[in-house]
């Protein structure tokens, strides 16, 4: 069965009907509709989270904007995620059914443990790739995220959290903490990626980061424990209770470890995503992987051999670029490492 997309006509109709009809989607009428086994009028909504068979959908109608409804979805629809715009109908005061998915601008997916590609968040403007002084970043994880995001045309922003730990005595005790992170950040900054150093613990760097998120829907990605939920708490001046709950549950991981969730923050929207140890890229072609290393581009077709693997061949432009300091050896190694993990 093909998924239902909204026709232009339908969208127009929905827009026109919003003022006059959406008042009818309020609880009293919805209750009446439910009593008759009928559904309320079609209303636009925003998916906040998806867990199990349940969706949390926020109403976008003028009458009850922001009200959250527990919904299930029609079986012909694809798996819906935080950030999806949908059309839904109330079937009770607090519940409803999602009947259509509005076209997605993009969808950020991750490979599940079962080897399937699972959507995480949709209609994203920006992605914060969060890593921390502790736990130490897994090798190549940042590059994996960058490749995936470049491939989707979503702007990545790098965020190094827990910089407070760089100045503490703990660092003296464990010399492996920290060193290497500053050069790493410089490396990415030199490639043109925006980078932030923050500490959720002290609030350092938070307001500068917050300002750069204005009017955007941002997804927060990164391995577990780096402080994604803490960051959202820091940013969530207006919705502390809700985020506080999330925070309290985060270690046991009710929401956060299983599903992404959208939060309205001051002037922006942020989607918290579950942490993952590894971030597989098996859905990406070798060409996409190459393109995901944005600084390799100028050297793509400059090697002597058209099918140069950039390993042994003479006159390899990419290896020459490393020699000349135009490409960082660490990034080239990372590229080969990921390539090998994908294609052997």
Ligand X SMILES: Nc1nc2c(ncn2[C@@H]2O[C@H](COP(=O)(O)OP(=O)(O)O)[C@@H](O)[C@H]2O)c(=O)[nH]1
**Least Å distance between CB 141 and Mg ion?**
16
Taking contact as CB under 5 A, which single stretch among the options 123-131, 194-202, 213-221, 256-264 is the one that binds Mg ion? 256-264
The nearer residue to Zn ion, 277 or 306, going by C-beta atoms, is 306
The nearer residue to ligand X, 81 or 303, going by C-beta atoms, is 81
- CA dist 18 and 23 (Å) reads 8
Q: Considering CB distances under 5 to 8 angstroms, the limit depending on partner class, which of ligand X, Mg ion, Zn ion, none binds residue 25?
A: none
- CA dist 159 and 170 (Å) reads 21
Q: Partners of 148 in the beta sheet?
A: none
Is 256 a binder of Mg ion (CB under 5 A)? yes
- In sign, the C-alpha dihedral spanning 131, 135, 139, 145 is negative
The nearer residue to Zn ion, 268 or 318, going by C-beta atoms, is 318
Is 223 a binder of Mg ion (CB under 5 A)? no
Q: For the residues of 270-339, what is the DSSP string, one character each?
A: EEE----S----TTS-HHHHHHHSGGGGGGTT-SSSTT--SSS-TT-HHHHHHHTTSS-HHHHHHHHHHH
**Least Å distance between CB 256 and ligand X?**
6
- Name 52's Cβ contacts closer than 8 Å, sequence gap at least 6: none
Q: Which two tokens stand for residue 5?
A: 């997309």
The nearer residue to Zn ion, 213 or 303, going by C-beta atoms, is 303
Q: Which two tokens stand for residue 31?
A: 């209750």
**Least Å distance between CB 308 and Zn ion?**
3
**Least Å distance between CB 249 and Mg ion?**
9
- CA dist 11 and 56 (Å) reads 22
The residues binding Zn ion (CB under 5 A) are: 303, 308, 310, 316, 318
Taking contact as CB under 5 A, which single stretch among the options 194-202, 252-260, 290-298, 311-319 is the one that binds Mg ion? 252-260
Q: Considering CB distances under 5 to 8 angstroms, the limit depending on partner class, which of Mg ion, Zn ion, ligand X, none binds residue 227?
A: ligand X
Buried b / exposed e over 40-54, threshold 16 CB at 10 Å, is bbbbbbbbbbbeeee
**Least Å distance between CB 226 and ligand X?**
4
Q: What does the DSSP 8-state code read for residue 166?
A: G
Q: Considering CB distances under 5 to 8 angstroms, the limit depending on partner class, which of ligand X, Zn ion, Mg ion, none binds residue 308?
A: Zn ion
**Least Å distance between CB 247 and ligand X?**
7
The nearer residue to ligand X, 275 or 280, going by C-beta atoms, is 275
Q: Considering CB distances under 5 to 8 angstroms, the limit depending on partner class, which of ligand X, Zn ion, Mg ion, none binds residue 161?
A: ligand X
- Residue in 89, 217, 223, 229 binding Mg ion, rule: CB under 5 A: 229
Q: Considering CB distances under 5 to 8 angstroms, the limit depending on partner class, which of Zn ion, Mg ion, ligand X, none binds residue 339?
A: none
The nearer residue to ligand X, 122 or 160, going by C-beta atoms, is 160
SS3 87: strand
The nearer residue to ligand X, 110 or 250, going by C-beta atoms, is 250
Is 230 a binder of Mg ion (CB under 5 A)? no
The nearer residue to Zn ion, 250 or 310, going by C-beta atoms, is 310
Residue written as token pair 């960058």: 146
The nearer residue to Mg ion, 4 or 254, going by C-beta atoms, is 254
SS3 11: helix
Residue written as token pair 């581009």: 297
- In sign, the C-alpha dihedral spanning 150, 151, 154, 160 is negative
- CA dist 19 and 9 (Å) reads 17
Is 49 a binder of Mg ion (CB under 5 A)? no
The residues binding ligand X (CB under 6 A) are: 161-162, 164-165, 199-201, 224-230, 250, 256, 275
Q: Which two tokens stand for residue 58?
A: 């926020």
Instruction: Return residues touching Mg ion (CB under 5 A).
Output: 228-229, 250, 256
């Amino acid at each position: 069965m093909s998924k239902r997309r909204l026709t232009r006509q339908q969208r127009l109709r929905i827009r026109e009907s919003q003022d006059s009809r959406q008042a009818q989607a309020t609880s009293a009428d919805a209750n009446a509709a439910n009593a008759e086994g009928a559904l309320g009028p079609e209303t636009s909504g925003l998916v906040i989270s998806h867990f199990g068979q349940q969706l949390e959908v926020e109403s976008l109608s003028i009458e009850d904007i922001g009200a959250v409804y527990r919904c299930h979805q029609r079986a012909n629809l694809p798996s819906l995620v935080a950030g999806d715009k949908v059309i839904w109908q109330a079937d009770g005061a607090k519940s409803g059914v999602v009947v259509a998915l509005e076209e997605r601008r993009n969808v950020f997916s991750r490979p599940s443990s079962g080897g399937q590609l699972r959507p995480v968040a949709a209609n994203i403007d920006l992605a914060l790739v969060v890593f921390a002084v502790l736990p130490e970043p897994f090798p190549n994880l940042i590059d994996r995220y960058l490749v995936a995001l470049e491939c989707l045309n979503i702007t990545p922003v790098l965020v190094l959290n827990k910089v407070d730990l760089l100045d503490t005595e703990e660092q003296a005790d464990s010399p492996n903490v920290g060193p290497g992170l500053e050069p790493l950040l410089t490396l990415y900054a030199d490639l043109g990626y925006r980078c932030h150093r923050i500490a959720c613990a002290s609030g350092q760097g938070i307001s500068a980061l917050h300002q750069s998120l204005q009017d955007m829907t941002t997804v927060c990605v990164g391995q577990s424990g780096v402080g994604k939920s803490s960051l959202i708490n820091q940013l969530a001046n207006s919705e502390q209770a809700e985020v506080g709950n999330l925070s309290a549950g985060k270690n046991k991981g009710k929401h956060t470890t299983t599903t992404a969730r959208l939060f309205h923050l001051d002037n922006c929207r942020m989607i918290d995503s579950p942490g993952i140890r590894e971030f597989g890229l098996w859905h990406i072609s070798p060409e996409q992987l190459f393109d995901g290393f944005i600084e390799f581009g100028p050297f793509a077709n400059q090697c002597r051999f058209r099918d140069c693997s950039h390993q042994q061949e003479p006159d390899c432009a990419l290896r020459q670029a490393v020699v000349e300091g135009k490409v960082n050896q660490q990034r080239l190694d990372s590229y080969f490492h990921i390539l090998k993990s994908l294609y052997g």
